[in-house]
Amino acid sequence: MADVNPPSPVTHFLELLSDWDYSLPLTTQWAVAIAPEASENGDSNGLFQIIKEYTQIDVTDFYIPLSIQNKLLNEKTQPNIDGLGLYYAQSIRMPKESFTPMYVGVDNMGGFLKGTVASDRLDMGGRHFNIDFLETNVDFSDGLIRPWIIAASYRGLINTGKRNSIKTSIVIQEFSRQRNADDLKPVRKIHTFEGCVPIDVSERTLKYDSEEVLVKSVGWIYTSYKYEIDPNRLR
């Protein structure tokens, strides 16, 4: 026998929204961490040392101390706690996934349509993403990204081992807006990009007519990525 009083669509929709699995996330609930690989001797400053080798041609021409670069990627600027990451990262444009369809068949066959087959997946030239960073007095873009790009252009991108690499890993976590019993925001999605290298940093304009907070965009390429959807990770 049919239900005399079936639930209304609105009631069903609200019930789904109250369920953690189907509640709506917010675009502001995320954090990003940039994790350079260690050097061959186990020194966590391996990337910084490589950057210094390729940019410190002359102390008077171009020199950024390792102490400055350490300040830009340490536990203070990207603490590994709930909802916090690299604090001056303001926005991320995530990469897309796609492939190109092809249409095959015999030409001039009257009204017959050609068949559709899959062709090339999005190549590495299109596999990039951007992160926008706030400029601070010890500037992330000029203090780390700009010399990193220069060092990578000289050194090249051939893999010489993770412990002697100009590349890095970037991890982006997306959080639920609800908190659990331990007052933590459960991680709902994790994106891990391997073999990342910055390839460009946007220009900036200094002017007298108005004051504004400076934000610069950094483009990254990567060799591989994975993502995890595991809402039970911290529940």
Query: What digits encode the pLDDT tens for the residues 149-202?
Result: 998 998 888 766 656 688 888 999 888 877 665 556 688 889 999 889 999 998
User: Residue 105 domain-assigned?
Assistant: no
Residue 92: count of CB within 10 angstroms of its CB: 16
pLDDT class of 217 with cuts at 50, 70, 90: very high
Note the pLDDT of residue 126: 66
Note the pLDDT of residue 170: 92
Task: Tell me what the mean pLDDT of segment 71-99 comes to.
Answer: 81
Note the pLDDT of residue 159: 66
User: Residue 121 domain-assigned?
Assistant: no
User: Residue 165 domain-assigned?
Assistant: yes
Q: 159 lies in which domain range? A: 23-96+126-228
User: Residue 159 domain-assigned?
Assistant: yes
Which stretch of 34-38, 106-110, 211-215 has the lowest confidence by average pLDDT?
Answer: 106-110
Which stretch of 14-18, 36-40, 171-175 has the lowest confidence by average pLDDT?
Answer: 36-40
- H helical segments located in 40-134: 46-55, 66-72
The number of folded domains in the chain is 1
Task: Tell me what the mean pLDDT of segment 103-125 comes to.
Answer: 72
Q: Would the pLDDT of 132 be above 90? A: yes
User: Residue 11 domain-assigned?
Assistant: no
- In sequence order, the 6+-apart residues with CB closer than 8 A to the CB of 72 are 138, 140, 143, 144
Angle at 218 between CA 62 and CA 157, to 5 degrees: 70
Q: What is the CATH number of the domain that holds 190?
A: 2.30.110
User: Residue 172 domain-assigned?
Assistant: yes
Q: Would the pLDDT of 96 be above 60? A: yes
User: Residue 118 domain-assigned?
Assistant: no
Query: pTM of the prediction?
Result: 0.80
Of all residues in the chain, what percent carry a pLDDT higher than 70?
A: 77
User: Residue 51 domain-assigned?
Assistant: yes
> In whole angstroms, what is the distance from residue 133 CA to residue 201 CA?
10
Note the pLDDT of residue 161: 61
- In sequence order, the 6+-apart residues with CB closer than 8 A to the CB of 51 are 64, 69, 144, 147, 148, 151, 166
